[in-house]
Amino acid sequence: MYNEEESLPHFFPRLRAALESTGRPYELIFVNDGSRDRSLTLLHQFYQAYPETVRILDFNGNFGQHMAIMAGFDHAKGDIIVTLDADLQNPPEEIPRIVEQIDLGHDVVGTVRQHRHDPKFRMVASKLVNSITNRITRLDLHDYGCMLRGYRRDIVDIIKRSGESTTFIPALAQKFAINPVEIPVEHSERERGTSKYGLFRLIRLNFDLMTGFSIYPLQAVTMLGILISALSLLFAVYLLIRRFVVGPEAEGVFTLLNINFFLMGVTMFCVGITGEYTGRIYQEVRKRPRYVVRRTWGGDE
């Protein structure tokens, strides 16, 4: 969670009620991803009320959603691990259905949001990104953005052994899963607080997803470069022949400028894709910690 003080008083009782309805023992691990509001204070009050089931991990900065989930994985003790954001857009009441699917033998339970209450632009962009990402990564996920998901312990252990400094957890789990499944879940409109994912952050996240699971973008820009080079060669041959047949010409200057600007744009795009992969290599070789926990409450700590 990150700056969710408005949602937490409503989130806590619904989450506990959903878990109590399963009739199973459980633990609640809350990861405070550097919140600057009263989220940590509210978490501590909840911990004092239920110290036997609540654990808190308090980051010393904002490390991002996926690193927060990795911290939860590192500290979770259960055989079934369910991830959930605290904004109440994914109802906690869906958790028993996820547990039921794992009981049926599935090792990863993905979810697909139904009747989404997001801006239209975001829904259209999400569908486009899901389609493109599936083609690039060759995974079969229908909703990459929904973090309400369930994992069996062995899948979580494999994810923990992956030493990547940046990763996209749903895709990583899908890659290792033997018997995954996706189920539809309800999606609610955010009633309190504001979304922490702006357009730029979503673009960055999808670049992480594409570059972390496939080299197809590099291969695509290579093929594009070959194609444009071939077309440029044909165009040069055409201009040479035309010069001998018709003679020199001064017309078409703006057309050539337009073609030049287009090729410059393609070049910059290709350099950007290459830079994304180079940046990932740079992040990996630095070997910085994926997250830093300032303090913990609950459990054995």
pLDDT at position 126 is 67
Tokens linked to 258: 């337009």
Residue 225: other Cβ atoms inside 10 A: 13
The sheet carrying 28-32 orders its strands as 28-32, 54-59, 293-297
Tokens linked to 185: 């879940």
Of 39-43, 95-99, 157-161, 191-195, which range is least confident?
191-195
Give residue 263's pLDDT band: very low, low, confident or very high (50, 70, 90): confident
Tokens linked to 108: 């990863």
Residue 252 Cα distances to 55, 75, 232, 233, angstroms: 70, 66, 16, 18
Contact 192, 10 (CB under 8 A): yes
Q: Greater confidence, 292 or 168?
A: 292
Contact 173, 101 (CB under 8 A): no
pLDDT at position 212 is 67
Contact 27, 55 (CB under 8 A): yes
* Residue located via tokens 């997250």: 291
Tokens linked to 246: 């018709």
Give residue 223's pLDDT band: very low, low, confident or very high (50, 70, 90): confident
Cα gap 287→178, rounded to integer Å: 30
pLDDT at position 197 is 55
Count how many residues are written for the chain.
301
Provide the phi-psi class of 177: left if phi over 0, else alpha when psi is between -120 and 50, else beta.
Answer: beta
Give residue 193's pLDDT band: very low, low, confident or very high (50, 70, 90): low
Q: Greater confidence, 190 or 112?
A: 112
Mean pLDDT value across residues 77-87:
94
Mean pLDDT value across residues 52-72:
92
Greatest mean pLDDT among 50-54, 209-213, 227-231 lies in 50-54
Rg (CA), the chain: 24
Tokens linked to 34: 């550097």
Cα gap 177→156, rounded to integer Å: 10
Cα gap 271→39, rounded to integer Å: 41
Q: Greater confidence, 222 or 199?
A: 222
Cα gap 54→72, rounded to integer Å: 12
pLDDT at position 95 is 95
pLDDT above 90 covers a percentage of the chain that reads 42
Q: Greater confidence, 175 or 265?
A: 175
Q: In 3-state terms, what secondary structure has residue 185? A: strand
Mean pLDDT value across residues 183-202:
68
The answer on pLDDT for 279 being more than 80 is: no
Q: In 3-state terms, what secondary structure has residue 240? A: helix
Contact 185, 148 (CB under 8 A): yes
Helical packing angle, 39-49 and 8-20, nearest 10°: 30
- Strand partners for 59: 293
